[in-house]
Structure 1
Amino acid sequence: MSFFKRLKESISSKTEAVTNKFKEGLTKTRNVFVDRVDDLFSRRKKIDEEFYEELEEILIGADVGVSTVMELIEQLRSEVRKRKIEDPNDLQPVLSEKLTELLKGSEDSSIKLAPGGLSIILFVGVNGVGKTTTIGKMAHMYKSQGKKVILAAGDTFRAGAIEQLETWGQRVGVDVIKQQAGSDPAAVMFDAVQAAKNRGADILLCDTAGRLQNKVNLMEELNKIYRVIRREVPDAPHEVLLVLDATTGQNALQQAKMFGDKTGLTGLVLTKLDGTAKGGIVVAIRQELNIPVKFVGLGEKMDDLQPFDSEQFVHALFGKWIAEEKAEA
């Protein structure tokens, strides 16, 4: 069975609504990236050095990342030799398959929650990436699943951050634990954990400051928050999610490297994927950092934050190729 047929069967078992969200959210990337690949594969009549160089340029232009592109091109060269592929069009499913493999990696992309009792998720990231909005949307998602959710306003530094989280709390219908602006974020977290325990909450979503003026202080603050949470709930936080803005491309990758293992990252949330033509950054981040992408923002609606699915991602980009293969069958 061909890769596209296997992918189509896998996708068909998932909800059509989710499939459509991925398709709509990746429209810009698909229109630029896939159309350029299509043009290359139809224009070139043989797979030679010029073909590889142009494909390399397209992949780098989609922010797949230089080192990842180099690895991908080498894998394609190997498959061409092994399968004796001569027609560029026959490389389409191979390219899709390799991208899926790169996205999957070896780590689970599902959110890890406590088997019983309170689950605590800590959000980190610089200002302006959509961290507070992500928390609000995730609160909506979990509340829709029947879970009791509480928000912790741990960003006491940025003007308006507490009010913004409160607005989300009102929209979603969940409590927000806060103190005054300028308060110790670790003290806010202590209060939030106590409130979550006392009120029988299932999920505590914790906002944190995103300032970078003094990176050392920021990391020390995050470590202090981490320690306070762990002291109160020994196996928490159950997830530490770094929120990144997909429209910043390679800058998002640099931010991820900066936070790195200093904050005990367990996963990434990539926002505003619908606003960029460089969705290849998902591949670069997944491959170069070996940290799973757990959620992606595919629009501005409340339910447009979706659990990341590598197969849905590839299907949304290369669905046209699947349709073409079906038509030829």
Structure 2
Amino acid sequence: MSFFKRLKESVSKTTESVTQKFKDGLSKTSSSLVGAMDSVFSRNRIDEELFEELEDVLIGADVGVQTTMEIVDRLRSEVKQRKVKDPADLQPLLSEILVEMLQGDDRDTAMNLKADGLSIILFVGVNGVGKTTTIGKLAHQYRQEGKRVILAAGDTFRAGAIEQLEVWGERVGVDVIRHQAGSDPAAVIYDGIQAAKARGADILLCDTAGRLHSKVNLMEELKKVYRVIQREVPEAPHETLLVLDSTTGQNALQQAKWFNEATRLSGIVLTKMDGTAKGGIAVAIRRELSIPVKWIGLGEKLDDLQPFDAEQFVHALFVQAIEKEEEA
């Protein structure tokens, strides 16, 4: 059985609606990537020129130079080991490599939430990446699961950030703990923790400011927020998620590198994936930083924020090739 068939069987075990969301959200990347690869894999033979063309395609999809070189090197090795002769057989082989790279340890892609008691999730990221929207959508998902959720408006720097979070709170039916604009973010988070404890909340989602032009101030602010959280709930934050706008490509990778140095990141949220044809940034982040992508934004609807699934992701990228194989 080919890898494409095994991949489809594995993906079919999840709900059809989730599979469709991945297909729709990644359609731009899929069309661009598969279209470019068709010319590569329709060559007459497997030679060095083919591998060089493939490198160009992957780099163009924002997979990144370092990760692309590793992928192509592994593909060369597999071709030699499996004695592959037909260029058309490289596509399922490539998809197999991508799944392995994206999966990592299955345990690190799951959210680290407490079965009992308060779980605290801290969100970081620069302005404009969809951080507040992500918090609102995640609050909605946890509410749907019957969790008691509270939001802490810790971004007291950006104009309108507090009000934006309050709009989301009203929309999904959760309380928002806030201070005035310009207040100490750590004080907001402290009050959020106290409110969450007093009201028996299961999850506290904490927003923070993201102003990279003032790195020193941001670093000190985040350190203070961490100290407050750990003083009140010693094992927290249970997750520190970096929100990245996938449409910014390699710039997102640079942001991830900087925030990973500044904070103890446990995962990545990739937003606006439906708006880019260069979804390969997910592979670059996973491979180069060893940080799992935990959530992926596939559209504007409340339920378009989905837990990241490596098999669903790769299946959506290669769905056109998979359908072609079935027709053959």
TM, length-normalised to structure 1: 0.98
Shift of residue 220, structure 1, vs aligned partner:
1.0
Matching residue's letter, 1:216: V
Q: Equivalent residue for 1:136?
A: 136
Q: Equivalent residue for 2:202?
A: 202
Shift of residue 323, structure 1, vs aligned partner:
2.2
8 Å CA contact retained: 2:55, 2:68: yes
Does residue 76 of structure 2 align to residue 49 of structure 1?
no
Q: Structure 2: where are the runs of 5+ without partners? A: none
- Structure-1 separation of matches of 2:133 and 2:305: 10
Shift of residue 327, structure 1, vs aligned partner:
2.9
Q: Equivalent residue for 2:162?
A: 162
- Structure-2 separation of matches of 1:270 and 1:126: 13
**Could you report, residue by residue, the CA deviation over 1:91-146 in whole angstroms, capped at 9, with x for unpaired residues?**
11100000111111235211110121111000000001000000000000000111
SS of 2:80 mapped into structure 1: helix
Q: Equivalent residue for 2:216?
A: 216
- Structure-2 separation of matches of 1:324 and 1:33: 15
Deviates more, 1:208-217 or 1:265-274: 208-217
1:53-132 aligned within 5 A: 53-106=52-105, 108-132=108-132
C-alpha RMSD of the superposition: 0.9
SS of 1:143 mapped into structure 2: helix
Q: Equivalent residue for 2:296?
A: 296
**Could you report, residue by residue, the CA deviation over 1:136-162 in whole angstroms, capped at 9, with x for unpaired residues?**
000000001111110000000111000
8 Å CA contact retained: 2:241, 2:266: yes
Identity of matched residues, %: 72
- Structure-2 separation of matches of 1:18 and 1:141: 14
**Could you report, residue by residue, the CA deviation over 1:141-198 in whole angstroms, capped at 9, with x for unpaired residues?**
0001111110000000111000000000011110000000010000001100000000
Q: Equivalent residue for 1:24?
A: 24
SS of 1:29 mapped into structure 2: helix
- Structure-1 separation of matches of 2:287 and 2:184: 36
Does residue 302 of structure 2 align to residue 310 of structure 1?
no
How many residue pairs align between the two structures? 327
Q: Equivalent residue for 2:237?
A: 237
Q: Deviating runs (4+, > 3 A) in structure 1? A: none
- Structure-1 separation of matches of 2:315 and 2:226: 38
Matching residue's letter, 2:244: L
SS of 1:120 mapped into structure 2: strand
Matching residue's letter, 1:27: S
1:267-278 aligned within 5 A: 267-278=267-278
Q: Equivalent residue for 1:258?
A: 258
Shift of residue 321, structure 1, vs aligned partner:
2.3
8 Å CA contact retained: 1:105, 1:287: no
Q: Structure 1: where are the runs of 5+ without partners? A: none
SS of 2:183 mapped into structure 1: coil
Shift of residue 324, structure 1, vs aligned partner:
2.6
Matching residue's letter, 2:248: T
- Structure-2 separation of matches of 1:110 and 1:260: 19
TM, length-normalised to structure 2: 0.98
SS of 1:278 mapped into structure 2: coil
